[in-house]
A and B are shown apart, each in its own frame.
Chain A
Amino acid sequence: MNKIILATVSALALGAVAAQAQDYPTKEIQGIIQWGAGGSTDTVMRAVTPHAEEVLGGTVVMQNVTGGVGAIALNNVESADADGYTLLMGAENPLLYKVMGLGDKDYGDFIPVDLLARGTAILVANNDAPFDDYAGMMQYIKDNPGELKLGATGPGGLPSVITAMMDTVEGKLDVISVPYDGDGPALTALQGGAIDVMPAVLGASIEGIRAGTMKPLAIFDTEASDKLPDVPTIVSENEAYGAYLPWGPFFGVFVKEGTPDDVVAKLSDAFKQGAENADFVKLMDERGFTMMNISGDEAEEFLTNWQQNTAWLLQDAGLTSASPEEFGIEKPAE
Chain B
Amino acid sequence: METVLAFLTVFTQPQLFLLVGVGTFAGVYVGAIPGLSVTMAVSILISFTFSWDVYPAIALMIGIYMGGVYGGSRTAILLNIPGAPSAIATAMDGYPMAQKGEAGTAIGVTTVMSFIGGFIGIIVLALAAPFVSDFALSFQPRDYMLLAVLGILLVGSLSTGSLVKGIFAGAFGLAIGAVGRDPLTFAERFTFDFRLLEGGISFIAVMIGMFGVSEALMQLQHADKTAVKQKISRIVPSWGTVRRHLPLSLQTSSIGVIIGALPGTGGDIAALMAYDHAKRVTKNPEVPFGQGAIEGLVAPETANNAAVGGAFIPMMTLGIPGDAVTAIMIGALFIHGLNPGPMLMVDQPHMFWFIVGALCVANCFMLLFGLTGIKLFTRIVEMPRAVLIPLIMLLSIVGAYAVNNAITDVYWMLAFGVFGYFMRHYGYPLGPVILGVILSRLLDDNWRRAIISDREDLGRFFGGILHSPLSLVLFVAVILIFVSQTPVWAKAKAMLRKESA
Contacts and interface: CB of A to CB of B under 8 A. Distances in A.
Is there a contact between chains A and B in the complex with CB atoms less than 8 Å apart?
Answer: yes
B318 A38 contact: no
Contacts of A185: 263-264
A179 B185 contact: yes
Interface of A: 32, 37-39, 42-43, 46-47, 49-50, 62-69, 71-72, 100, 102, 146, 149, 154-156, 176-181, 184-185, 187-189, 191-195, 206-208, 210-213, 279, 282-283, 286-287
Contact of B330 (A38, A46, A64, A100): A38
Interface in B246-297: 263-264
Closest 4 CB pairs of A and B: A207-B341, A67-B199, A38-B327, A211-B342
Interface string B334-345: 110101111100
B184 A176 contact: no
15 contacts: A37-B39, A38-B328, A46-B50, A46-B331, A65-B406, A155-B186, A179-B185, A179-B448, A180-B184, A188-B320, A208-B319, A210-B341, A210-B342, A211-B342, A286-B337
A254 B449 CA distance: 35
Given A65-B405, A194-B453, A207-B339, 7 more contacts: A38-B321, A50-B47, A184-B320, A189-B141, A191-B318, A194-B140, A211-B343
B404 A65 contact: yes
A56 to B, nearest CB: 15
Contacts of A178: 141, 449, 452-453
A67 B198 contact: yes
B162 interface: no
A32 B404 CA distance: 11
A102 B320 contact: no
B261 to A, nearest CB: 12
A68 B452 contact: no
Interface string B346-371: 10000000000000000000000000
A149 B138 contact: no
A208 B341 contact: yes
Nearest to A191: B137
Contact of A154 (B180, B186, B319, B340): B186
Task: Classify chain B's interface size.
Answer: 35 or more
Contact of A72 (B324, B342, B406): B406
For B138, B185, B318, B334, which residue has the most chain A Cβ atoms within 10 angstroms? B334
Interface of B: 39, 43, 46-47, 50-51, 137-141, 180-181, 183-186, 198-200, 263-264, 314, 318-321, 324, 327-328, 330-331, 334-335, 337, 339-343, 346, 404-406, 445, 448-449, 452-453, 455
Given A38-B328, A38-B330, A68-B180, A46 B335 contact: yes
A146 B453 CA distance: 10
B185 to A, nearest CB: 6
A193 B404 CA distance: 34
B452 A211 contact: no
Contacts of A210: 341-343
Contacts of A195: 453
Which of B43, B140, B343 gathers the greatest number of chain A CB atoms within 10 Å? B43
A284 B343 CA distance: 18
Given A43-B334, A65-B406, A283-B334, A154 B183 contact: yes
A34 B406 CA distance: 13
Given A43-B334, A287-B334, A184 B321 contact: yes
Nearest to A286: B339
Contact of A68 (B181, B318, B324, B448): B181
A64 B341 contact: no
A64 B403 CA distance: 9
Contacts of B138: 192-193
A194 B141 contact: yes
Contacts of B335: 43, 46-47, 283
B297 to A, nearest CB: 31
Contacts of B39: 37
A177 B455 CA distance: 10
A66 B337 CA distance: 26
A67 B405 CA distance: 12
Given A179-B184, A207-B339, A207-B343, A62 B404 contact: no
A294 to B, nearest CB: 23
A144 to B, nearest CB: 12
